[in-house]
Structure 1
């Protein structure tokens, strides 16, 4: 392995990593990398062969006890030569002593199990134009009749950020305030919240991607609220075409996607190195990101 070294990712590398993920068919968000680097600036590693980037991985630290592995890619020309496993080991070493999560594609799940990961559930990507969406209307404001009595859908940016962060914490093992602030506020994306009597009862974010616009996270107290948020966000997507990564451990979320006419297209197993963290899975209708959790 002469000539191979592992370094932190530069800003230029982050754009390259996004392009590689796109080539893998993962449909990354156009601006996701800006929120990713805020989450953990040192959490993205690149393997270079004679100075040329040939592999990457993210090993992002959250709080004091959680980490997440993503963007594990070796370029086709160098696969099978041991560069990927060296990068994997470097990423896992960076997260040593933490509970570690990842979303593993089907063909790699056996390898992840050998590294001590165990499946908690599957995140199944559902794609399509939700029934009732014309793809051209504005976001608007949902009425109580649409979302449930007393529920209003508002621009999430109009709410105190501390309230948004506390709500997000119900669905993620650690606080991630810096990441969340960037995630909901980057140009080209929209975040909507469902509010009842001053309490947040739903949150959804849509972002532009190479193919279908991605919705994530999608949190909701009821399927009705989730449906309203999903439809409202889909109206902002070109042609109404969206994709949402749905945890199959929430059967109401899976049923909702079927009712709206969305089709399963891809799946990855959410895996952890230890017991799965306690999350509000009944309110989790779409995960934020398969790359960072």
Structure 2
């Protein structure tokens, strides 16, 4: 390993990590890195061989007890030489003592199990133009309005998001819902938040929707169709947890096709999340 060192990622490294993830077919958002860096500025690591990036990983800390690993990639021409395991060990060391989650691609899941991770559910990526309903919010329910999420006090959005994530992530969420190109819409009834969704552009593929939260399948469908209206040709991508059967049924019922899968895995007990109302995860990279 002469000439190999692991350092924190800089701005150029973050863009490189996005392009590497893009090459893997993960379809990261164009501006995700800005929100990612806000979540934990020191949580992104790059392994350099003779000064050149060779491998990367993210190990983001949330609160006092949770962490999430993502962006675990070794440059294709350097795979099988031990560089990836070095950044992996640096990531796990950074999150020592915490419950750790990740979204593992199929071919790596056995390796993650060997490192102490256990599957909690499968995230199936669905893609297509959502059908059903002539109007974007058709069938949302009586009294439901779909509005710009920025019109709501941020503290209420953060409290709603907290139902679906093990720790608060306010710095991340404030950017995620407001970055250029990100469109966030909330479903509201009598002043109560009944759903939240965000769509963002992805350079090499269809725009991704995530998160998608909703109190009913009808609200989820309405938000999904409304957000798809911001996609250039209406085609979107949504990562659906099979732990919510209603979410899987909705994606299939709207004509979306499964194209890719990962496993949500944890090192310990599965966090108590509101899975019954989680229709699309936020991101494969940071949970």
Q: Same fold (TM over 0.5)?
A: yes
Q: Please report how far the alpha carbon of residue 151 of structure 1 lies from its aligned counterpart in structure 2 after TM superposition.
A: 1.0
* Cα distance in structure 2, aligned partners of 1:38 and 1:68: 14
Q: Please report how far the alpha carbon of residue 97 of structure 1 lies from its aligned counterpart in structure 2 after TM superposition.
A: 0.3
Classify the secondary structure of the residue corresponding to 1:69.
strand
| 1:61-72 equivalent positions in 2, closer than 5 A | 61-72=61-72
Which position in structure 2 is the counterpart of 1:188? 181
Q: Please report how far the alpha carbon of residue 93 of structure 1 lies from its aligned counterpart in structure 2 after TM superposition.
A: 0.2
- Tell me which of 175, 195, 201 is aligned to 2:168: 175
CA offsets per residue over residues 14-68 of structure 1, 9 Å max, x none? 0100010111111110000000000000000000000000100000000000000
Which position in structure 1 is the counterpart of 2:131? 131
Q: Give the count of matched residue pairs.
A: 286
TM-score (norm 2): 0.98
| 1:80-91 equivalent positions in 2, closer than 5 A | 80-91=80-91
Classify the secondary structure of the residue corresponding to 1:96.
coil
Contact 1:106–1:269 at 8 Å: present in 2 too?
yes
Contact 2:133–2:139 at 8 Å: present in 1 too?
no
- The answer to whether 1:150 aligns with 2:150 is no
Which position in structure 1 is the counterpart of 2:269? 275
* Cα distance in structure 1, aligned partners of 2:279 and 2:69: 22
- The answer to whether 1:76 aligns with 2:70 is no
What is the Cα-based RMSD across aligned positions, in Å? 1.2
* Cα distance in structure 2, aligned partners of 1:133 and 1:32: 31
Contact 1:170–1:279 at 8 Å: present in 2 too?
yes
Which position in structure 1 is the counterpart of 2:12? 12
Classify the secondary structure of the residue corresponding to 2:202.
coil
Contact 1:195–1:202 at 8 Å: present in 2 too?
yes
* Cα distance in structure 2, aligned partners of 1:99 and 1:171: 16
Classify the secondary structure of the residue corresponding to 1:131.
coil
For structure 1, the residue ranges without an aligned partner over 5 or more in a row are none
Which position in structure 2 is the counterpart of 1:252? 246
* Cα distance in structure 2, aligned partners of 1:3 and 1:77: 17
Classify the secondary structure of the residue corresponding to 1:238.
coil
Which position in structure 2 is the counterpart of 1:36? 36
Q: Please report how far the alpha carbon of residue 198 of structure 1 lies from its aligned counterpart in structure 2 after TM superposition.
A: 1.0
Q: Please report how far the alpha carbon of residue 245 of structure 1 lies from its aligned counterpart in structure 2 after TM superposition.
A: 0.2
Q: Please report how far the alpha carbon of residue 150 of structure 1 lies from its aligned counterpart in structure 2 after TM superposition.
A: 1.3
TM-score (norm 1): 0.96
Q: Please report how far the alpha carbon of residue 203 of structure 1 lies from its aligned counterpart in structure 2 after TM superposition.
A: 0.2
Q: Please report how far the alpha carbon of residue 146 of structure 1 lies from its aligned counterpart in structure 2 after TM superposition.
A: 3.0
Q: Which runs of 4+ in 1 moved over 4 A?
A: none
Q: Please report how far the alpha carbon of residue 147 of structure 1 lies from its aligned counterpart in structure 2 after TM superposition.
A: 1.1
Q: Please report how far the alpha carbon of residue 133 of structure 1 lies from its aligned counterpart in structure 2 after TM superposition.
A: 7.8
- Tell me which of 211, 214, 219 is aligned to 1:217: 211
| 1:81-120 equivalent positions in 2, closer than 5 A | 81-120=81-120
* Cα distance in structure 2, aligned partners of 1:253 and 1:101: 21
